[in-house]
Structures are given as structure tokens and as C-alpha cells.
Amino acid sequence: MSRTDAAGLRAAAARVAMAVLRDGRNLEEGLDAEPAAGRERATLQSLAYGTIRWFFELDACLALLTDRPPERLDPPVRCLLLVGLYQLAHGRTPAHAAVAETVEAVRVLGRPRASGLVNAVLRRFQRERDLLVQRAHRDPQARHAHPWWLIEAIRRDWNERAEAILESDNLHPPMWVRVNARRVDASAYRARLAEAGLDASPCAFAPEALRLAQPVDVRILPGFAEGDVSVQDAAAQLAPRLLALDAGMRVLDACAAPGGKACHVLELQPGLAELVAVDIDPGRATRIRDNLARLRLAASVKVGDATEPAGWWDGKPFDRILLDVPCSGTGVIRRHPDIKLLRRPADIPAFAARQQALLEAAWPMLVPGGRLVYASCSVLRAENAAVVEAFLAARPEAVEMTESARLFLPAPLPECGRGPGLALPTGAADTDGFYYACLDKRA
């Protein structure tokens, strides 16, 4: 890659960081606005994700290196400085090249007069790095590279396990796949991966899950286009077993897009009477249809609001309901580090209110004797056990059955947070953070 191309990518990474920091857009949207493709896109993605992943640390270092607070710097220059600091603190580009390419990027950003500042800041960081990082780390925000409110919430909810969660959030996530049990079993698929030169390891409590030693493009996965395999974290693969499915059942997936769990349910229980997959977002509902088609599965897909069943429900009760609620995504920060910048403390009670409303609306659609599984990819009690506790207090006919349901999992889970429900901490068994509660309706 020429120096000009490399500088162009640093400038693009600064624009993507600015899309998140200044415009409140997510990393994917920021990346999609850039024309980079192939290897260039991979480099850009690694620069932009790394800069956002370490933002709270890098910005604290930047504050020690400039005579005004970073938020008062020209936004493109601040973001380019963060990209430069990321490369020096965590990247793999040799330091001299990283500095030269980042300094050159000021021109691409139309800020040629900032080249002296960028050069001076990055060179000083290069010289005094250990001392500066040590000073910045006195602030827990910088040390954990998380916003203060989230550090406090995770500490409050997880006590001594909080440090491990915060650390896992900043690691590169592994790639987990789910083998389609209708077409091939996991050990046979693992052998096919090995033939293709891909190492993978199994997960005892999620039998269809394989963890790849190295993330790869899905197109390299044997049989991907034919539906032999899907990408899905192992923690997200517990839903069908907790639902305790049987042939002949009618199942509702009330927040179904893009269809990962709905497809897993269908892969494991071919004899269902019907699976109704609902999502409020028409674009995302199309992704359910695409996944069903690739995996050669059938479901009744509906675009609708789960809190307004009158718009799409035929009135026939369901034997099982999966409610995989919209949430803060604090269990998947390692995959989406922009969550640390985009979420605000006030979002958490707002999510909890929405989750409560979804649970209240889904419950009447469950047959007496049936089971609802509440799931989220949040690690915060307010969106998980607290929602379930409030629901149980108001609904005497609801019985929390998660402890006995987990006995039917093929192997014990890593240690979970306090109940009710299963709260899987991020990074335990190298999975995402996840929450499940099984709620049975008395017959």
C-alpha cells in the first residue's frame, strides 16, 4: 500500500470515528459511507473499531498532550489524533510509519495547518507513552476504556466479576458458528472445517456451536451458501433447549429479526406445527426471510408490533414464546464497541420500560401450561432480572423455571450472575454476555 493510500485510510478512519463521536451514528453506518473494499475495507475497519474500542483511554491520553480539552479541538483533527494514538498504543503498524501516514492524512481531511500539531502530539506520545498511559489510567474511564456510568452499573450488578467483564469487552471477539443440525452434526462439520484448513473447538453446553480459531469471511465456511452453518455466538444458542420444544407445538418468536434463534428452533425441532416470526422492522424482517431461504426452513414471517398483537395475531394461543427483547447490547460490546459511546444512562430505564411492555403484551398469547423464554444480550440487571422480578410480582400465574430448565442443557454453564434467570457474563467460556429466564404459565 502506498503512503498516499495509507494516509487516505487514516483519514477515512477519522471520518468513521467522527460519525460515531459527533453524529451519533454506529460504526457500520460510518464504514458503509466510505468507498473502501476488500483488504482496504478490512484495514479501515480495524483502525475505526480499534479507535472506538479504546476511545476512553485514547481521549484521556490526548487530554494530557494538548493545551485545550479534546472536545474543543476541531472534530476531524481530534478524531485523526485518536486514530494516530490508537495505532501507537494498540496497533501493529510500525510507529514511524503510523506517525508519518497519520500526519499526511491531515491534507486528505482538508486540514493541512494541523500537520504540526498532529506530528508533535504523536511524537510526544511515542516518546512518553508509558508515563502518559499510566497517568491517564488513574481515571477508571480510561483504565477500563468504558464510560463511568457503565463501569458503575457493571460493578453494581456483578461485584467481583465486573473486572473480567470490562476486560472481555475490550478483546477481539471470537467467531462462533451454529451447525445446522438438520443437515450435518457438529463433529462432522468440524472435520470439514479441518479439511478446509480451519481449526475449531466445540462448546459443551451448546452442542451445535463451534468456535473458530480465527475469524474468517463466511463465504469461506464449507456449505455456508447451502445452509449447513450460520454465524451465531454460543450464548445465543441456548434458546431452543430452554424452550423445551416438542413436535406439534405452535411457537411465537416475537422479536425475531434477523432470525438467528428462529432458525435454530426450526433446525432442532422439525416437527413444529408452526413458527410465527414477528418483527417490527420491515427491513430486518426481510433478513429473516433470507436466512430461512438459505437454511431451507419455513416459518410464517410477519411485520408487526409485538405490543399490538391485534395487528397480526390470529387469536390462537402459542405453546412456546421466545421474547428476545431489544436492549442496550451491553453483552455484545466486544462486537460493537460503539455501544460504549452511543448509549446514555437514561437509555437503560427506557429499554426496561419497553421490555416490560413487550413481556406484558406477549404473556396473554401463551397457552396455560406453556412457556415463555425472555432473552436479552444485555449484562445489566435493570433489563434482565429486574424486569422479570417486576413481572413475577404482578403475575401470580407466572412461575420462574430457569433453574430446572438449565438442568436439561447438555453440560453445566459457566458461573452465572444472581437470579432470577441465567445471567451469563461476557467472556465466560468466550461467549457474549447474555440473559435468559424461563417463565411458565400455570395450567
Q: Which three cell numbers stand for residue 90?
A: 494498540
The least CB distance from residue 291 to ligand SAM, in Å, is: 8
Q: Which C-beta is closer to ligand SAM: that of 186 or that of 255?
A: 255
267 lies in the site for ligand SAM, by CB under 6 A: no
Cell of 315: 387469536
Q: Which residue blocks in 110-195 are alpha helix, DSSP H?
A: 115-136, 140-144, 148-158, 162-169, 186-195
Residue 299, interface with ligand SAM (CB under 6 A)?
Answer: no
Binding flag, residue 305, ligand SAM (CB under 6 A): yes
For residue 71, what is its C-alpha cell?
472536545
Judged by DSSP in three states, 83 sits in helix
**Residue with smaller CB distance to ligand SAM, 310 or 407:** 310
Q: Which stretch binds ligand SAM (CB under 6 A): 54-62, 102-110, 250-258, 425-433?
A: 250-258
Near ligand SAM by CB under 6 A: residue from 63, 280, 390, 401: 280
Number of residues near ligand SAM (by CB under 6 A): 17
Minimum Å gap between C-beta 438 and ligand SAM is 16
Instruction: Tell me whether residue 12 or residue 256 sits nearer to ligand SAM (CB atom).
Output: 256
What DSSP string describes 165-186?
Answer: HHHHHTSPPPEEEEE-TTT--H
Q: Rule CB under 6 A: is residue 312 a binding residue for ligand SAM?
A: no
Which range binds ligand SAM by CB under 6 A, 41-49, 212-220, 257-265, 363-371? 257-265
Would you count residue 206 as binding ligand SAM (CB under 6 A)? no
CB proximity list for 236: less than 8 A, separation 6 or greater = 260, 261, 377, 432, 434
Find, among 328, 373, 371, the residue nearest to 346 by Cα: 328
Query: Which of residues 192, 284, 289, 302 is near ligand SAM by CB under 6 A?
Result: 284
Distance, in Å, from the CA atom of 279 to the CA atom of 276, rounded to the nearest integer, reads 10
Q: How far apart are CA 137 and CA 228, in angstroms?
A: 46
Using the contact rule CB under 6 A, the part of the chain among 96-104, 176-184, 218-226, 304-312 near ligand SAM is 304-312
The question of whether 416 is a catalytic residue gets the answer no
Would you state the cell numbers that stand for residue 39, as one nine-digit string?
483488504
The position carrying cell 480495524 is 46
372 binds ligand SAM (CB under 6 A): no
> If binding is defined by CB under 6 A, does position 261 make contact with ligand SAM?
yes
User: In terms of CB distance, is 227 or 258 closer to ligand SAM?
Assistant: 258
Q: Is 307 in the site for ligand SAM (CB under 6 A)?
A: yes
* Residues 6+ positions from 193 with CB-CB distance below 8 Å: 199, 200, 210, 212, 221, 222
Q: Choose which of 259, 417, 421, 427 interacts with ligand SAM (CB under 6 A).
A: 259
| Residue 286 found at the interface with ligand SAM (CB under 6 A) | no
Q: Which of 341, 328, 252 is nearest to 51 (CA)?
A: 341
Selected binder of ligand SAM within 46, 326, 382, 389 (CB under 6 A)? 326
- Taking a C-beta distance cutoff of 8 angstroms, is the pair 391, 398 a contact? yes
Residue type, 95: A
- 284-293, long-range: CB < 8 A, 24+ apart: 284/257, 284/258, 285/256, 285/257, 287/257, 287/258, 287/259, 288/256, 288/257, 288/258, 288/259, 288/262, 290/258, 291/230, 291/258, 291/259, 291/260, 291/263, 292/259, 292/262, 292/263, 292/266
Region near ligand SAM per CB under 6 A, out of 218-226, 280-288, 404-412, 422-430: 280-288
Query: Closer to ligand SAM at the Cβ: 331 or 417?
Result: 331
CA neighbor of 361 nearest in space, from 403, 304, 406: 304
For residue 303, state whether it binds ligand SAM (rule: CB under 6 A): no
Instruction: Select which of 263, 377, 416, 438 is catalytic.
Output: 377
152 lines the binding site for ligand SAM (CB under 6 A): no
Does residue number 317 form part of the binding site for ligand SAM (CB under 6 A)? no
**Phi, psi (degrees; rounded to nearest 5) at 37:** -135, 165
Pick the closer one to ligand SAM by CB: 88 or 255.
255
Which positions are catalytic?
A: 377
Residues lying near ligand SAM in the complex (CB under 6 A) are found at 255-261, 278-281, 284, 305-307, 324, 326
